[in-house]
Amino acid sequence: MPATTGWLVRGKDGRLTAYAPGDGHVLRWTETRPGGPAWKGPEPLPAPDLLPYFSVAQGADGYVHLVGTRRRPLSDGAAAHEIVYAIQYQTGRPLREWRSLASPYPSDPSLAEKMGLPSAVVDGDGSLHVFIRNAGRGVTVRNQARTGAWNGWLDIKGRRVVGTASAALAGDGHLEILAPTSEVLQRWSWEKPGAPFARADDVPLRVAPDSLTSVVTGEDGGLTHFWHDAEDGTVRAWRPAEGEPARVGEGTGTGPVAVLRTDVDGHDCTVLAHRDRATGRPALAAYPTGNEEAGATWTLTGSPCLGAPSLALDGAGRVVMAAIGTDGALWVARQKPEPGLALGAWEPAGS
């Protein structure tokens, strides 16, 4: 079930779509009209040999890119691992065919098997960038040129990476890439097409693997990075220019942190969600953007879920929280039409 948080997205027509990995397929739920409440799905979209994970990336054009790992058996009994991607151009339209990006180790299946799971981000030109932890536990990237053609796999170094790398698009168009180790957080930046991936100084931060998420929060387009602390499971927020990370409330969670920036009662707020560590239930918090010192209270909501919850704004501008229940169904809660940030009752989506 979802090990990422970006699996609930809003299309150009205002309708929400949710994606989850299945057995040899991708499950898709789609709103029948902007703002719901009715959904169509789950629709099983063929994804032969896809491991039960994929990263979801959406560009300004609304196109949704799914990136995963395909494991195909070979005649000698071994397995070939390759990175694959597919695109959905419009809400509710067919998912295009899965295309292979191969791997950095086309002639050595034993090394390809050691790759981590991919993460993906779309830059300001609509080009897709795919990052993996490589067999040497550094980071390798493959990206598209503006023409749509793919460049080759590029090792941008790094060492002792645990979990997946994380990439985000800043407001000025540059990419920031983060990869945790057991002791430090490694960082890179990519300024524009044709530029190299520049390594920044490591930061002595203990980040739980696979928990990083980032969102634009600064007036200058700067990013705030969020994660679960590797030791106590609390959520931390960090802006590189400000030094030490801030704790965001006392709630503890597992997996990635879902992040959404939106207006609440005329105030710029950052809304967070995660899977509570003690109960396995979704939990929600919000605070004034950039002001972690104001405090945030984590509120448990709904029933235990599989993987991480996701956040999005629906066609009416309401905060929507989605989770995959232990029954495998999609459950959705929407912001109530009242002051503050209160969610309505959880409802199952689709059939």
What's the mean pLDDT in 229-245?
93
**H, E, C per residue of the chain:** CCCCCCCEEECCCCCEEEEEECCCEEEEEEECCCCCCCEEEEEEEECCCEEEEEEEEECCCCCEEEEEEEEEECCCCCEEEEEEEEEECCCCCCCCCCEECCCCCCCCHHHHCCCCCCEEEECCCCCEEEEEECCCCCEEEEEECCCCCECCCEECCCCCCCCCCEEEECCCCCEEEEEECCCCEEEEEECCCCCCCEECCCECCCECCCCCEEEECCCCCCEEEEEEECCCCEEEEECHHHCCCEEEEEEEEEEEEEEEEEEECCEEEEEEEEEECCCCCEEEEEEECCCHHHCCCCEECCCCEEEEEEEEECCCCCEEEEEEECCCCEEEEEECCCCCCCECCCEECCC
| Architecture of the domain whose range is 8-348 | 6 Propeller (2.120)
pLDDT at 49 over 60: yes
> What percent of the chain lies above the pLDDT cut of 70?
99
Mean pLDDT across the chain: 94
Residue 220 pLDDT level (bands cut at 50, 70, 90): confident
Per-residue pLDDT of 155-203, as tens digits, reads 999 999 999 999 999 999 999 999 999 999 999 999 988 889 999 999 9
Per-residue pLDDT of 81-119, as tens digits, reads 999 999 999 999 999 999 999 999 998 989 999 999 999
